[in-house]
Amino acid sequence: MEISEAYNQIKNEISEDVTLICVSKTRQIHEIKEAYAAGARDFGENKVQELMEKHDSLEEDIKWHFIGHLQRNKVKHIVGKVYLIHSLDSIRLLQEIEKQYGAQDKIASVLIQVNIGKENAKTGIAAHDIDSLIQACEECNNIKVKGLMATIPIGNAEECRIYFNQMKSMFDNLKTFKYKNVTMEFLSLGMSGDFEIALKAGSNMIRLGEKIFGERDYNKLEG
Residues present in the chain in total: 223
128 in any annotated domain: yes
96 in any annotated domain: yes
22 in any annotated domain: yes
Per-residue pLDDT tens for 39-98?
999 999 999 999 999 999 999 999 999 999 999 999 999 999 999 999 999 999 999 999
Per-residue pLDDT tens for 157-216?
999 999 999 999 999 999 999 999 999 999 999 999 999 999 999 999 999 999 999 986
Question: What pLDDT score does 215 carry?
Answer: 85
82 in any annotated domain: yes
DSSP classification of residue 154: P
Per-residue pLDDT tens for 141-165?
999 999 999 999 999 999 999 999 9
222 in any annotated domain: no
pLDDT band at 1 (very low <50, low <70, confident <90, very high): confident
How many domains would you assign to the chain? 1
Domain span including residue 129: 3-213
Look up residue 152 and give its amino acid. Answer: I
Helical ranges in the chain per DSSP H: 3-13, 29-37, 48-57, 75-78, 91-103, 130-138, 157-175, 195-201, 210-213
9 in any annotated domain: yes
- What is the pTM for the complete model shown? 0.94
197 in any annotated domain: yes
221 in any annotated domain: no
- State the CATH number of the domain containing residue 41: 3.20.20.10
Please, are residues 191 and 203 in contact by the beta-carbon 8 Å criterion? no
